[in-house]
């Protein structure tokens, strides 16, 4: 090799090694990997951010709270008051107080996180009834690490997997989509636990109402074809004390079809849902092996689901929101489309609901 080239090459290598040593990432034990961050609304209108990150080698978490103007400022503040280099690279959950979600909205915070290259798109979101800070800092019995407890509550597992859980990516998608509106899990708080009791409904980026977990399961069935966890319905029979006799369908498979008349000025929709599942928990006198009597139970189940769907869709119409994305089936026929105009049009749309239930087998009943 030409000797004249050796000296510049050696200089480059030395400078390169110097740069590498200066930009080397901190050791794991010096990192504060935020698992949960919560946002509350201060009386001044500013936001209060609360971060939780585990201490290395200890079964406990470190908490930091600060009143901030921008999301990244929470990281800066935590790093200045901690022995760790704080990072969002392991963020799992973002909590918002109900007051924050209703008055300030989620868009600014979520867009900041969405643009942060260290934050995953699959971070779960939730609304808490009172204080996000309190939800994070409370010591829950048999739950020594609150950040892990909150994450497990919102992770789609077991029966919870049927609920419409929402990630940062999902919320931003619904927010910027020309049809649908976001839905976010809602957690109630107590000294003993957090409970997933409702789901928050949003118009744009602000919370406007809530719906029950049972309605949320139906909502998820309307958003996509998927199995549902179970449906309880009241029969037309009474027990010896005059109380209604109930039955339930388990392992419910659903199929959905939404059609419309293609008329944006006077839209008419037909929502057809087919359900199939195993009959359980029925203690009435009908013989489920008899075709006629089984059809009677299927009709009762269909009526129950039809009534619930009708109430749910009527609620969406009155709020002028479209969480199920019904307008997508109409939008494909119209070039000039406005989400705001669509929400107003939806409120006056005619919606016909057809539900067909098929009892596939009868499990242990009595």
Residues 91 and 231 in one domain: no
Residues 70 and 200 in one domain: yes
Residues 102 and 143 in one domain: yes
How many CA atoms are closer than 13 Å to the CA of 41, on its beta-carbon side? 17
In the chain, the percentage of residues whose pLDDT exceeds 70 is: 83
Residues 205 and 281 in one domain: no
Q: HEC states along 232-294? A: EEEEEEECCCCCEEEEEEEEEEEEEEEEECCCCCCCEEEEEEEEEEEEECCCCCCCCCCHHHH
Contact 219, 326 (CB under 8 A): no
The beta-carbon contacts of 196-201 under 8 Å, at least 24 apart in sequence, are: 196/153, 196/154, 196/160, 196/163, 199/163, 199/164, 200/98, 200/101, 200/127, 201/316, 201/319, 201/321, 201/323
Residues 242 and 365 in one domain: yes
* Listed residues 176, 211, 246: the one ending a domain: 211
Residues 166 and 254 in one domain: no
Question: Which one is predicted more confidently, 88 or 134?
Answer: 134
Q: Classify residue 216: in a domain, yes or no.
A: no
Question: Which one is predicted more confidently, 165 or 108?
Answer: 108
Average pLDDT over residues 191-196: 82
Q: Classify residue 263: in a domain, yes or no.
A: yes
Could you give the CA distance from residue 170 to residue 184 in angstroms, rounded to a whole number? Answer: 10
Element (DSSP H or E) covering residue 44: none
- Answer yes or no: is pLDDT of 306 > 90: yes
pLDDT of residue 225: 57
pLDDT of residue 11: 45
Q: Classify residue 25: in a domain, yes or no.
A: no
Q: Classify residue 190: in a domain, yes or no.
A: yes
* Torsion over CA: 211, 214, 217, 219 (sign): negative
Beta bridge pairs of residue 50 = 38, 65
- Answer yes or no: is pLDDT of 1 > 60: no
Residues 237 and 206 in one domain: no
* Weakest mean pLDDT among 65-69, 93-97, 161-165, 245-249: 161-165
pLDDT of residue 20: 43
pLDDT of residue 255: 87
Q: Which two tokens stand for residue 94?
A: 């973002």
Q: Classify residue 23: in a domain, yes or no.
A: no
Express each pLDDT in 266-304 by its tens digit.
999 999 999 998 888 788 888 888 889 989 999 999 999
pLDDT of residue 25: 52
pLDDT of residue 38: 95
Contact 86, 79 (CB under 8 A): yes
Average model confidence (pLDDT) for the chain?
A: 83
Give, in order, the Cα–Cα distances in Å from 260 to each of 195, 254, 268, 270.
38, 20, 5, 6
Residues 207 and 259 in one domain: no
* Listed residues 165, 183, 211: the one ending a domain: 211
- Answer yes or no: is pLDDT of 117 > 80: yes
Residues 246 and 354 in one domain: yes
pLDDT of residue 195: 86
In the chain, the percentage of residues whose pLDDT exceeds 90 is: 40
- Answer yes or no: is pLDDT of 102 > 80: yes
Average pLDDT over residues 260-271: 93
Residues 57 and 204 in one domain: yes
* Weakest mean pLDDT among 95-99, 147-151, 291-295, 354-358: 147-151
Express each pLDDT in 58-82 by its tens digit.
566 788 899 998 888 888 888 787 6
Split into its structural domains, the chain has a count of 2
Q: Classify residue 72: in a domain, yes or no.
A: yes
Residues 59 and 153 in one domain: yes
How many CA atoms are closer than 13 Å to the CA of 171, on its beta-carbon side? 33
* Predicted TM-score of the model (pTM): 0.84
Q: Which range scores top for mean pLDDT: 13-27, 145-159, 302-316, 351-365?
A: 302-316
CA-wise closest residue to 127 among 183, 76, 191: 183
Question: Which one is predicted more confidently, 42 or 251?
Answer: 42
Q: Classify residue 219: in a domain, yes or no.
A: no
* Listed residues 181, 211, 241: the one ending a domain: 211
Range of the domain at 328: 224-366
Express each pLDDT in 45-56 by its tens digit.
899 999 988 765
Q: Classify residue 337: in a domain, yes or no.
A: yes
Express each pLDDT in 236-258 by its tens digit.
998 888 899 998 888 778 888 99
CA-wise closest residue to 48 among 97, 115, 106: 97
pLDDT of residue 201: 96
């Amino acid at each position: 090799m030409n000797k004249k080239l050796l000296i510049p090459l050696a200089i480059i290598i030395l400078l390169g090694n110097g740069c590498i040593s200066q930009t080397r990432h901190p050791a794991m034990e010096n990192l504060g990997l935020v698992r949960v961050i919560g946002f509350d609304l201060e009386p001044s209108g500013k936001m209060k951010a609360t971060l939780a990150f585990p201490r290395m080698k200890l079964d406990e978490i470190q908490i930091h709270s600060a009143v901030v103007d921008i999301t990244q400022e929470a990281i800066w503040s935590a790093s200045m008051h901690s022995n760790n280099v704080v990072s969002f690279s392991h963020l799992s959950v973002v909590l918002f107080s109900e007051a924050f979600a209703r008055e300030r909205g989620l868009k600014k915070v979520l867009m900041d996180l969405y643009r942060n290259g260290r934050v995953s798109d699959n971070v779960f979101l939730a609304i808490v009834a009172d204080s996000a800070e309190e939800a994070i800092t409370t010591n829950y019995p048999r739950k020594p690490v609150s950040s892990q407890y909150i994450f497990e509550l919102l992770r789609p597992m077991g029966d919870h997997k049927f609920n419409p859980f929402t990630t940062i990516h999902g919320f931003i998608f619904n927010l910027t989509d020309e049809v649908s509106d976001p839905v976010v899990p809602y957690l109630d708080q107590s000294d003993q636990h957090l409970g997933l009791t409702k789901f928050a409904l949003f118009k744009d980026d602000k919370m406007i109402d809530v719906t029950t977990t049972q309605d949320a399961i139906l909502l998820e069935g309307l958003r996509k074809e998927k199995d549902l966890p179970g449906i309880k319905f009241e029969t037309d029979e009474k027990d010896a004390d005059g109380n209604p006799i109930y039955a339930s369908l388990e392992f419910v498979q659903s199929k959905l079809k939404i059609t419309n008349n293609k008329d944006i000025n006077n839209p008419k929709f037909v929502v057809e849902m087919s359900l199939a599942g195993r009959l359980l928990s029925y203690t009435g006198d009908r013989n489920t092996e008899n075709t006629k009597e089984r059809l009677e139970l299927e009709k009762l189940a269909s009526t129950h689901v039809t009534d619930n769907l009708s109430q749910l869709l009527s609620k969406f119409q009155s709020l002028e929101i479209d969480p199920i994305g019904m307008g997508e089936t109409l939008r494909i026929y119209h070039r000039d489309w406005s989400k705001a105009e669509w929400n107003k049009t939806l409120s006056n749309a005619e919606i016909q609901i057809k539900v067909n239930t098929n009892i596939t087998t009868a499990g242990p009943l009595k």
